[in-house]
Structure 1
Amino acid sequence: MIPADPAPLLLLTLTVSSVLAAFFLLGLLKMLLRSVGRERLGRVRRPPAPPGIHGIPLVGETLSFLSADRSGKGFYEFVRARRLRYGNCFKTSIFGKTQVFVSTTSAAKAVLGGDSVGFSKMYMRSISELLGKQSLLCASPENHRRLRRRMSTLFNTQSLEASVRTFDGLTVEALGKWKQGQTMVVLEEALKITFAAICKLLASIEREDELAEMQRDISEVTEAMLSIPLKLPGCRFFKGLKARRRVMTSLRKTIRQRREGSEHHDDFLQSLLAMDDQRSSDDQLTDSQILDNMLTLIIAGQITTASAIAWMVKYLDENPNVQERVRELHLPLLVGNAPGENNLDPEALGQMAYASMVVKETLRMASIVSWFPRVALEDCEVEGFQIAKGWIVNVDARHIHSDSAVYDNPGKFFPLRFHKDPKPYSFLAFGTGERTCLGMNLAKAMMLVFLHRLVTMFRWKVIDTDTSLEKGALFPRLRSGCPIKVTPISSSD
């Protein structure tokens, strides 16, 4: 039945509809306001990005990074200047990647700590291409664990003892040729000894012509590691790639001969191949994995250790009281043996407590590896700053080693500071966590051997105090090479 006058009903319907619509719109508005409020609140609470600039699009600050090397102060000068400008956490762009540098022990713990699952190791493209994608330094976390387990055989107790004896023999042979008043360039001598030792230990490469050719190629690869990755003839990176191919060709030939059985030696390569023979095909290392890591071990085992030895000799020259203390402690170790007798082993090195402190103090002050890069696997926060996924975070070990908040009087060469273990994440000469340098014990042993033989066979004086760094060097090397004039130790001493 239709009412005679529908107006009141229509009016009531419109009124109810309007009220419901008003309530709906009001609710929608409240939800919108809450969403906007949360977004604004989130923006307010979200940590800021690190200070710094990206520089020119695509190029970034790459040119400034490379020009720091040409200044004679080395690549680290780029980092130091920006840390002074922006503080202990800053961002920049190098070789097309956003790079963040952090310089505190708390940041080192956050990025390098064993419980840090948000970061993985990553090097610049120029380094990763020259070392190879299968290198232990560039491998993914999964491959890294497998490779590290297989490569660790080179650094077990038995292998370390053989390595120490080999290096000691080569050191005694080299230093035995030094004469009264002769000027020797420590870096050059140390490079020859460490290179000969690592090549012999890895693949029994001993022929002088073969060693000389490979050393030239390894030098070109190393010099290209922090260059613009341009594959154009004449460019440093291009030369480095060609040198890498020559090294790979030589090592590939050696591997083929070993697999065919035409050659057999008691060295690291032979042990790797022997382990593969005992494993299923799925668990064997490919030739590419072996080759990339042989190259990595040669570079890491030679250049970093030789550079550290040169810095150690320089510091001991500047601190004659420390030098004489080492000599005083080590000359009695030669009692009953000829001064150059090859009798050192890890047990003997274990008795050299003060010398071990000298080695650690050298590594702290020289900081051969200036920073450790990691890539952020997800958005995260470090030192109160927002780090985006894909950014590379570099732990500035050099600044941590020279920070007065971490070390008392850090500019002083004072080995006894290592009489006690350093605070966590304050001594990063070999990194820390799962990616700690696999050859750490071997490198320290080589430095101890060289130090023992040098102080017991010679006194010396550095004759060139130029502290500028070699241009293009991945690791800080003295441009002069640390030339010294030597005086043999007499029997009466």
Structure 2
Amino acid sequence: MKTCRPHTQTIHLLSANVSVVFPSKIQSKIINKQMRLVHTHINRTVTGDYTTMLKSSASTMINEAPCVMISMLFQEYPLYSLYTFIIIASLLLLICPSAKILWFNVMDPPSKIVVREYNRNIPPGSGGLPWIGETLQFMSAMNTHMGIYEFVQARRQRYGNCFKTDIFGETHVFVSTTQSARMILNDDIGRFSKKYIKSIAELVGHESLLCASRKQHKLLRSRLLHLFSTKSLANFVRLFDELMIESITTWDHGGVVFILDQALKITCKATCKILIGIEGGLELEMLQKDVASVCDAMLAFPLRLPWTRFYKGLKARKRITSLLEKLICERRKRSGDCQEDFLQSLLRGNGDSCSLTNAEIQDNILAMIIAGQDTTASAITWMVKFLDENEEVLNTLMEEQFRIAKNARNSYLTMEDLNEMPYASKVVKESLRMASVVQWLPRLALADCEIEGFKIQRGWNVNVDARSIHFDPDIYSNPNVFNPFRFDCFTNNKQEEPKLSSSFLAFGMGGRTCLGMSMAKIMMLVFLHRLTTTYKWKVIDSDSSVKKWALFSKLRSGCPVYLTCIKQVTSPPTSKRNL
């Protein structure tokens, strides 16, 4: 009888919740179903020790009982959808506290001692509430000035360069030293693999480079690498410059333009043109909106309910993959008569038997569109803002760009022209450092290991805090000052080069370094050249708050600027525009 006492208390506890939430007509059915469920699980685990048996039974009951209750409710009341929704919400509110009480009731004191002894060497941090951990605090950080990174920064200041937290039902460890970054990102023995939270993986696709396992990543990367050859990049310089000139001539002279909106349009158009051959029209416009919906849903709770952000993101992903599937089928039918782009190159393959599946092609093209459109446009927006705040840097940049424009031998920029922009390249690099659009780099521990003197368990998520490293004063002096010349110190000092390679993480490091790194730099350099040689500008909203729900650091204001043609410079308006 003694061994059944916690089990009996558990039934009474959840039965009390049932009596509060459900009509008396089906209370007995649910309670009987719960009893059978728990008795069955206890019988299966009776050969184990007492604590393990109770923990396992409790876990099963907590996880499965709500599903049993809800399914029986649907059978009894199939038409009352509003009532069903209220019941589900009530279950979440009532059973979670019950789960917490149950957990501490079934754990005997010796087990607690063992757990505390084992946990002595794990990273410091808070586990938060049962089940949900610190997910609510993580989500609430979206409303702050720095967005979700506010959550990370606050805990790093409290616990140090290595701390642990529980979000989205999983354990996450954040590390922010160059030594740890080098060990994790340059891992060659298979201790770490890349892993994003569930919502991101489902939206981007499990077959993409972003979410692929270590072995699959190597295979996919070998198939995609040739698409970023020197010849392809040279063609892309011409393409993006053409699109930039076409776009910038339509901007409102003497009016206000939102840099983020314009950058998103141009980068999306260029990326889709080179990837899948779509040049414009309604199809491109819908694709851009769907990609934006996918990006906005990446940090949403993974609830498949019609009114949720995550559900809307999934529907947008479905429309994108349907479009890509249609394009793939058309290309396969017209195999000999197709335009040359990334999609056609992927379909043709490398001449071996290991060709990519349709799902792999779709997921990787979607991932490249997101990277080409969202992250690059965000970086361009921050770059324009930083230049506006640093007049001396802007003047030096304009001198370089006008010299290149004067000596240009062609109407459009070439790769040779970009190679003659050393100062602009440093401006791009410094913008990427300070913006830290990708704020941390996620990995999954495939085996128990040690980081910063702490034990990391297999299955834990390990995140390299890139933003913290980018603002480390021991690496970058006066890190909050926009100073492109700081990279001269690394270039001129060979001993400092290894330090730079592990402290500049805008594109990652090691085998998972961003494939589109060169393409992103091209877009930023071309954008800079055309903007600085065509307009004077003034940012009219200095707010540097980050956009809500943005996985990638994105200016909430959109960076509105007042534009004036170079030949007719006038004073910009002094008052801020109400955005």
Alignment correspondent of 2:560: 483
Distance 2:525 2:189 in 1: 33
Alignment correspondent of 2:432: 363
Alignment correspondent of 2:470: 401
- Preserved contact between residue 47 and residue 384 of structure 1 (Cα < 8 Å): no
Alignment of 1:320 with 2:394, yes or no, is: no
Alignment correspondent of 1:5: none
Please tell me the residue identity of whatever aligns with 1:175.
I
Alignment correspondent of 1:331: 402
Equivalent runs, 1:467-478 vs 2, <5 Å: 467-478=544-555
Alignment correspondent of 2:247: 174
- Indicate the SS of the match to 1:335: helix
Alignment of 1:49 with 2:130, yes or no, is: no
Distance 1:491 1:234 in 2: 49
Alignment correspondent of 2:110: none
Please tell me the residue identity of whatever aligns with 1:346.
M
Distance 1:116 1:490 in 2: 59
Superposed displacement of residue 73, structure 1? 2.7
Distance 1:95 1:44 in 2: 26
Distance 2:561 2:231 in 1: 35
Alignment correspondent of 1:264: 338
1:209 to 274, 277, 282: 282
Distance 2:312 2:471 in 1: 35
Equivalent runs, 1:203-352 vs 2, <5 Å: 203-261=276-334, 264-275=338-349, 278-280=351-353, 283-335=354-406, 342-352=411-421
Please tell me the residue identity of whatever aligns with 2:454.
F
Superposed displacement of residue 207, structure 1? 2.8
Distance 1:491 1:484 in 2: 16
Alignment correspondent of 2:237: 164
- Preserved contact between residue 194 and residue 306 of structure 1 (Cα < 8 Å): yes
Distance 1:351 1:428 in 2: 24
Alignment correspondent of 2:479: 410
Deviations 1:286-343 (A, max 9, x none): 00000000100000111100000000000000001110101011102122659xx742
Please tell me the residue identity of whatever aligns with 1:453.
R
Distance 1:149 1:342 in 2: 35
Deviations 1:253-312 (A, max 9, x none): 000000000761111111111226x332xx111000000001000001111000000000
Please tell me the residue identity of whatever aligns with 1:483.
P
Superposed displacement of residue 386, structure 1? 0.5
Distance 1:271 1:414 in 2: 40
Alignment of 1:92 with 2:161, yes or no, is: no
Task: Tell me which moved more, 353-362 or 104-113.
Answer: 104-113
Distance 1:260 1:178 in 2: 41
Task: Tell me which moved more, 168-177 or 195-204.
Answer: 168-177
Alignment correspondent of 1:37: none
Please tell me the residue identity of whatever aligns with 1:173.
E
Distance 1:44 1:187 in 2: 51
Distance 1:151 1:212 in 2: 26
User: What is the TM-score when the length of structure 1 is the normalising length?
Assistant: 0.87
Please tell me the residue identity of whatever aligns with 2:392.
N
Please tell me the residue identity of whatever aligns with 2:289.
R
Distance 1:70 1:264 in 2: 47
Distance 2:309 2:376 in 1: 24
Alignment of 1:113 with 2:186, yes or no, is: yes
Distance 2:119 2:309 in 1: 43
Distance 1:405 1:90 in 2: 20
- Preserved contact between residue 180 and residue 488 of structure 1 (Cα < 8 Å): yes
- Preserved contact between residue 190 and residue 214 of structure 2 (Cα < 8 Å): no
Please tell me the residue identity of whatever aligns with 1:448.
L
Deviations 1:391-444 (A, max 9, x none): 011000000000111110101000011123452311000000000001011101
Closer, same or farther: CA 392–335 of 1 in aligned 2, 3 Å: same
Superposed displacement of residue 491, structure 1? 9.8
Superposed displacement of residue 117, structure 1? 2.9
Percent of aligned positions with the same letter in both sequences? 54
Please tell me the residue identity of whatever aligns with 1:306.
A
- Structure 1: tracts of 5 or more residues without a match: 1-39
Please tell me the residue identity of whatever aligns with 1:385.
F
Alignment correspondent of 1:435: 512
- Indicate the SS of the match to 2:125: coil
- Preserved contact between residue 180 and residue 486 of structure 1 (Cα < 8 Å): yes
Q: Which has the higher contact order (CA 8 A, sep 6+)?
A: 1
Superposed displacement of residue 116, structure 1? 5.3
Please tell me the residue identity of whatever aligns with 2:367.
T
- Indicate the SS of the match to 1:372: strand
Alignment correspondent of 2:94: none
Aligned residues, how many?
446
- Indicate the SS of the match to 1:471: coil
Distance 1:448 1:491 in 2: 24
- Indicate the SS of the match to 1:92: strand
Q: RMSD over aligned Cα, in angstroms?
A: 1.9
- Preserved contact between residue 269 and residue 279 of structure 2 (Cα < 8 Å): yes
Distance 1:478 1:50 in 2: 32
Superposed displacement of residue 46, structure 1? 9.4
Closer, same or farther: CA 45–249 of 1 in aligned 2, 3 Å: closer
- Indicate the SS of the match to 1:327: helix
- Indicate the SS of the match to 1:415: coil
Distance 1:431 1:72 in 2: 25
Deviations 1:368-391 (A, max 9, x none): 100001111111100011100000
- Indicate the SS of the match to 1:394: strand
Please tell me the residue identity of whatever aligns with 1:301.
G
- Preserved contact between residue 331 and residue 338 of structure 2 (Cα < 8 Å): yes
Larger Rg: 1
- Preserved contact between residue 179 and residue 488 of structure 1 (Cα < 8 Å): no
User: What is the TM-score when the length of structure 2 is the normalising length?
Assistant: 0.75
- Preserved contact between residue 165 and residue 342 of structure 1 (Cα < 8 Å): no
- Preserved contact between residue 47 and residue 381 of structure 1 (Cα < 8 Å): no
Distance 1:342 1:77 in 2: 45
Superposed displacement of residue 45, structure 1? 11
Superposed displacement of residue 152, structure 1? 1.1
Alignment correspondent of 2:131: 58
Alignment of 1:70 with 2:151, yes or no, is: no
- Indicate the SS of the match to 1:461: strand
